[in-house]
């Protein structure tokens, strides 16, 4: 597989690894999402000092209001985070 295909497969694998631990295998509950973020994005979470900010993030991911995060909602989050990281490194590199 190409690098991009591998990255896409890894995103799917990460979602599937955490989804369904507490119920529906097609969605992440609040607890599953929190575990995923703690395990898969520890550096991001360590920079978030305000615990309420992390809860707001979880609430914002649930676009359809079903109290769970489906794969589409998760991918939007990953894409947004990737864009932010790209912009950050782009700016850091220009200094």
Positions of E strands within the chain: 27-28, 69-70
Report percent pLDDT > 70 for the chain: 86
What is the model's pLDDT at position 13?
97
Place of tokens 């993030």: 57
What's 62's domain CATH number?
A: 1.10.238.10
Average pLDDT, the chain: 85
pLDDT per residue as tens digits for the range 14-58: 999 999 888 899 999 888 988 898 899 888 766 665 666 666 777
Categorise residue 24: left if φ over 0, alpha if ψ from -120 to 50, beta otherwise: beta
State the total domains in the chain.
1
> Residue 52: is it exposed, middle or buried by C-beta count within 10 angstroms (0-12/13-18/19+)?
exposed
What integer is the mean pLDDT of 54-67?
A: 78
Q: Is the pLDDT of residue 87 over 90?
A: no
94 confidence band (pLDDT: 50, 70, 90): low
Nearest-CA neighbor of 36 among 1, 85, 69? Answer: 69
Nearest-CA neighbor of 27 among 17, 15, 19? Answer: 19
Q: 42 lies in which domain range? A: 3-93
What is the model's pLDDT at position 3?
98
28 backbone dihedrals φ, ψ, rounded to 5°: -105, 125
């Amino acid at each position: 597989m190409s690098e991009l295909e591998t990255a896409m497969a890894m995103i799917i694998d990460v979602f599937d690894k955490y989804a369904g631990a507490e119920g529906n295998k097609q969605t992440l509950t609040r607890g599953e999402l929190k575990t995923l973020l703690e395990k898969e994005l520890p550096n991001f979470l360590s920079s978030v000092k305000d615990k309420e900010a992390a809860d707001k993030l979880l609430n914002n991911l649930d676009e359809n209001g079903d109290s769970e995060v489906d794969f589409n909602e998760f991918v939007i989050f990953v894409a947004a985070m990737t864009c932010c990281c790209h912009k950050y490194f782009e700016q850091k590199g220009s200094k």
